[in-house]
Chains A and B, each alone.
Chain A
Amino acid sequence: MIKLQNIHKSYDMGSNKLHVLKGIDLNVGQGEMVSIMGSSGSGKSTLLNIIGLLDNHDEGDFYLDGMLIRDMNETKAARLRNQFIGFVFQSFNLISFKNAVENVALPLYYQGVPRRKRNKTAMEYLEKVGLTDWAEHLPSELSGGQKQRLAIARAMISQPKIILADEPTGALDSVTSMEVMELFKEINQSGITILIVTHENDIAHLTQRIIKLHDGLINSDHKNGHHQPLNVQAIAV
């Protein structure tokens, strides 16, 4: 589903260059639930943005569902995002002046689905995350956990192949975090690939595979519970 080969990414910080990703090789198959860990500045969010087509990589090959992604223009990237990828963010990123059902329905608006139909579909997804009673409420009237469930419903509605979650539990208490992770697991069981960026160990351990990033390189990649040093050379650097 996701195939990365020697991905490099650097940012211009005025006069000097910040080399964030220094050659990432990664394969994620369909239906996997993977967590990406690493300290801040290790490049985990940048990696997620590149996979999510929110950012371009400088070097290397990136295949998404068998398609080579290179020099995407904005319009094409937007279409692919809409079709393939659902996003869940730490700060939820709901549109504050739209109510729950309108927020969930928004990706379908960009697919050209008629209003009535997309609101009906949105209600189905709200039911799946247990927010039917809150359909007419604005995000500001919801709790953190409810907001994140709303964001997950929004990520789901376009029936993506991949869900990318950037610190989805970062703003939630532990009980709510567990509820959200349960939701992700259910979604994963329906065959959707899920990538979660987190720095919390107990969250990472709820996934099947943990990838640890350090200083722009993959430090370790192991099935949950089994430590598997992947690339000896990479560690040596």
Chain B
Amino acid sequence: MFDLDKWQEIFNTIEKNKLRTFLTGFSVAWGIFMLIILQGSGIGLQNGVENEFRSSATNTIWIWSGQTSKAYAGMQPGRYIQMTNEDHDNISKTVKGIDKMSSRYQIWNASTISYNNEFGSFSIRTVHPDYLYIEKMQITDGRFINKMDIDEYRKSVVISTKVKDALFKDEDPMGKYIQVNTVPFKVVGIFTDEDGRDENMQVIYLPLSTAQRVYGAGNRINTLAVTVGDASVEESKAIQEDIRSRLAARHKYDPTDDRAMFLWNSVEEFQKFKSLFASIRLFIWIIGIGTIIAGVVGVSNIMMIVVKERTKEIGIRKALGATPGSVIGLILQEAILITGFAGYIGLVLGVGLLELISKQIDTPFFRQPEVNINVALGATLLLIVAGALAGFFPARKAAAIKPIVALRDE
């Protein structure tokens, strides 16, 4: 195998038969290239979808109120439901399986936020401390809203890095006061949201209790969000139904009235996407395996033609004293060398193209196409083995041919 002279003989043969070498190599390189592109695209699709979910926790149930659409207990439909802090406390105390929980109250009037002479218009979300985990934010400086802010009605505010850039430029905002609809709030923390979507970045967070008091909201809330830990789809649905029935009892509406209260279960949604990924992955594997099979058949074909074409040469070599073993070795080593090298080229080209694509493309649902290196190496190895096997049987047959048959004049 590591006989230098044998390799020289092989390189010599390859050098003198460029077209044949190119054709064999091309089919191998193409197979690997296609497999990598397909795998990469599949993973890109998956990354894209997963990224869409990254902005918030994938185990959250969101609850917001609406208007009744069914008559219930003598009341006409069309009644507005308003959730309050009591709903929050009641659910937090009675519903089992809740991990994190936060209410949210949206300040709807025009939100002008200013610092000295810098003004900006940002959404104001007023929340509980647990909201940090529900929205999956990263704190880059200071802290998020905490329990003391809520309990003591502190005028604290947490701003995004974008808000900081807009209002403070290069100044350090920590401890400074900003005007939120003419009320001063002290900056206690800065956050960023990994997905970088504007709707989650053009935002400031205030403690819910403070906001309710300052902006005259009483005890009203708009939205409830609870996380369910690592509950399964079934468990999360049970929790969802538990919340629904308790809210229905508290607000006296028909529990089957799906317009009175809206519940959105991200566990269930995420599960749907997960099974979609599974189908996509299966599809990609089927195509990938199909491509590999096509590559194997291509390599086998070419190897058989190569051996047939070389029958006379093999006859000459045998007449001059080549043993059957050395003939098989020569053909096999050449096949392995070509398929190995070409496979590597296909691998590099495929990965290179994916790198290029992942830099250029930034659309939702397609992100960072990449390929599992083990899959790529495995496929290359498979093609090499296939090429070797495809070469081996004709080579053995050729080596067994009597030199006189091989040398017979046409």
Q: Which residues of B contact A112 (CB under 8 A)?
A: 5
- Cβ-defined partner of B319 (8 Å) among A79, A93, A98, A109: A93
Please tell me if the beta carbons of A91 and B323 are within 8 angstroms of each other in the complex.
no
Total B residues in contact with A, Cβ cutoff 8 Å: 28
> A54-B402, A55-B402, A98-B16 in contact; A106/B324 too (CB < 8 A)?
no
- Cβ-defined partner of B409 (8 Å) among A75, A91, A114: A91
- Cβ-defined partner of A109 (8 Å) among B9, B16, B409: B9
Please tell me if the beta carbons of A82 and B8 are within 8 angstroms of each other in the complex.
no
Q: In the complex, what's the smallest C-beta–C-beta distance from A172 to chain B, in angstroms?
A: 15
> A90-B409, A95-B313, A97-B16 in contact; A154/B324 too (CB < 8 A)?
no
Q: Which residues of A contact B315 (CB under 8 A)?
A: 93
A81 within 8 A of B: yes
A169 within 8 A of B: no
CA–CA, A112 to B9, complex, Å? 12
Q: Which residues of A contact B399 (CB under 8 A)?
A: 74
Total A residues in contact with B, Cβ cutoff 8 Å: 31
- Cβ-defined partner of A95 (8 Å) among B316, B321, B409: B316
Q: Which residues of B contact A111 (CB under 8 A)?
A: 321
Q: Interface digits, B306-319 against A, CB 8 Å rule (1 contact, 0 not)?
A: 00000011011111
CA–CA, A87 to B406, complex, Å? 14
B271 within 8 A of A: no
Q: Which B residues from 224 to 276 make CB contacts under 8 A with A?
A: none
B12 within 8 A of A: yes
Q: Interface digits, B371-410 against A, CB 8 Å rule (1 contact, 0 not)?
A: 0000000000000000000000000000110111001010
Please tell me if the beta carbons of B320 and A154 are within 8 angstroms of each other in the complex.
yes
Q: Which A residues from 92 to 107 make CB contacts under 8 A with B?
A: 93-95, 97-98, 102, 106-107
B183 within 8 A of A: no
> A87-B319, A93-B312, A97-B16 in contact; A78/B407 too (CB < 8 A)?
no
Q: In the complex, what's the smallest C-beta–C-beta distance from A180 to chain B, in angstroms?
A: 18
Please tell me if the beta carbons of B403 and A54 are within 8 angstroms of each other in the complex.
yes
Q: Which residues of A approach B to under 8 Å, CB–CB?
A: 49, 52, 54-55, 74-75, 78-79, 81-83, 87, 89-91, 93-95, 97-98, 102, 106-107, 109-112, 114-115, 154, 158
Q: List 10 A-B contacts (CB under 8 A).
A: A78-B322, A79-B323, A82-B320, A91-B407, A93-B407, A95-B316, A106-B317, A110-B317, A110-B322, A112-B5
| Chain A to chain B: the 8 pairs with minimum beta-carbon distance, closest first | A82-B321, A97-B16, A110-B321, A78-B323, A75-B323, A107-B320, A74-B324, A54-B403
